[in-house]
Amino acid sequence: MSNSPIDGNYHDRLRQEGEIWGKVAEAMAAQDAPDWQVQRQALHNLIVHARHVDAMLEAVQPGMQALDLGCGAGELTVALARRGAHVLGIDISARALEVARGYYASVQSQLVGTASYEQADLNTLSLPTARYDRIVIKGALHHLVDLPHLVGQMRQALRPDGLLWVQDSHGDESRAGVLMASVLMFVLPTHVSYGDKVRGLLRFGLRAPSRIKLSMEAEGLSPFEGAGRDQDWLALIQQAFDVIDLERGGTVTGYLAHQLRLPRSLALPLLRLIYGLERLLLRLGLLRSSGVVLLARSRPRELVEAQSVTS
C-alpha cells in the first residue's frame, strides 16, 4: 500500500483548486490591483497584516533572489520586485497566474527588480539547492497534502543566510475566540442584517458560534481546505528551520474586518480597538488564535539531521 498523500482523485481536485483560486484572483483584480501597495489599504490588511508584511519587505535588498509560493494574483511577488528582488511566483492556478502576469506587465517598467511566474504543484515541486535569499508563502500551506515534501524543498532552496517568511492558519480557533467573534458579529452592523442575525440565532441557537467558526476557518470553497491539518506544518518548519520570530493572532479582527458594514472612518478605530483587545486576551492566555506569522532562518544541516535522528 502506498503512503503517498496524493490519492486517486488528487488531480481532479487540484484542477478544481486552480479554478477556484483563479476566480478569486480575477474577482480581486477586477476590484483593486493585485499589488500589496494597493491591497495593504484593505481593512483586514491594514490592521492585522501590514506590520508583518512591511517588516518582511523592508529586509529585502536589491538583487536578491526570491520565491513567492502559492503566489495567487501576485500581490507579494510584485511587492518583492518593487524592493529590487528577482522573484519567481509559483502557483497551481493558471488563471491566477494569467492575472499576475497581466498586472506585472502593466507595472514592470516602474519596478527595480523583476518577476516571473510558473505553474507548478507545491506538493510535488522540485527546487534548486541554495538558490533563494527569501522564500515567502502566504495562505497556501494549509491547502497542501504533502507538507514534509514542501518543507524539505524550501529548506534545500534557501541560502544559508536566507530567510523564510510564512503567514497562514494553524490549528483550530479557540472556543473563546469564536465566542468573541460571534458576539461582535451579533452586536455590530455587518453585511448580514439584524433580522437575519436574530433568525439565525433562533434557528441555530447554541450551534450559531460553530457556524461562525466554520466561516472563520474556510477560505473559499477549496477542495483542499485544511488538507494538511494532520501534518502540522508549524512543527515541520520548527524542525527544519530556526524560527526567529513567531506571532499568533488577528483571526477575530480579520474576520470582522471582512464583515463590518460601517464607514471606513468608524471601522478603522473600532477594528484597532478590537485588535488591541484580541492581542491582550492572547497575551493573557485567554484566547488561542489560528493565525500565525513567522520568520525563520536556515538551520545548519547537522542540527536538522541530529533532530530527525532523535525524534
Ligand X SMILES: C[S@@+](CC[C@H](N)C(=O)[O-])C[C@H]1O[C@@H](n2cnc3c(N)ncnc32)[C@H](O)[C@@H]1O
Binding-site member from 49, 82, 134, 138 for ligand X (CB under 6 A): 138
Pairing of strands 132-138, 158-169: parallel
CB of residue 5 to ligand X, shortest distance in Å: 11
Cα(215)–Cα(213) distance, integer angstroms: 5
Q: Which stretch binds ligand X (CB under 6 A): 47-55, 137-145, 207-215, 291-299?
A: 137-145
Least distance CB 21 / ligand X (angstroms): 3
Q: Residues 100, 122, 163, 296: which binds ligand X (CB under 6 A)?
A: 122
Instruction: Quote the least distance from Cβ 9 to ligand X, whole Å.
Output: 14
Judged by CB under 6 A, how many residues of this single chain contact ligand X? Answer: 21
CA 140 from centroid of its chain's CA atoms: 6
In the numeric block, which cell numbers belong to residue 230? 494532520
Stretch that binds ligand X, among 68-76, 248-256, 285-293, 302-310 (CB under 6 A): 68-76
Binding of residue 146 to ligand X (CB under 6 A) = no
Looking at the Cβ atoms of 209 and 250, the one nearer to ligand X is: 250
Query: Which is it for strands 86-91 and 132-138: parallel, antiparallel or unpaired?
Result: unpaired
The answer to whether residues 183 and 271 touch, using CB atoms and an 8 Å cutoff, is no
Indicate the residue among 184 and 233 with the shorter CB distance to ligand X: 233
| Beta carbons within 8 Å of 32's beta carbon, 6+ residues apart | 38, 39, 42
At 299, list the grid cell: 538551520
* Number of other CB atoms surrounding residue 201 within 10 Å: 14
Cβ 174 to ligand X, closest distance in Å?
Answer: 22
Contacting ligand X within 13-52 (CB under 6 A): 17-18, 21
Least separation in angstroms between residue 154's CB and ligand X is 13
Contacts of 177 (CB under 8 A, 6+ apart): 251, 252, 278, 287, 288, 289
The residue with its CB nearest to ligand X is 72
Shortest approach of ligand X to residue 199 CB, angstroms? 31
Strand partners, 261: none
- In whole angstroms, give the CA distance from residue 204 to residue 57: 44
Which residues inside 70-99 make contact with ligand X, applying CB under 6 A?
70-72, 75, 91-93, 96
Would you put residue 262 in left (φ > 0), alpha (ψ -120 to 50) or beta? beta
Q: Footprint of ligand X on residues 186-245 (CB under 6 A)?
A: 219, 224
Phi, psi of 210, rounded to the nearest 5 degrees: -70, -25
* Residues lying near ligand X in the complex (CB under 6 A): 17-18, 21, 70-72, 75, 91-93, 96, 121-123, 138-140, 143-144, 219, 224
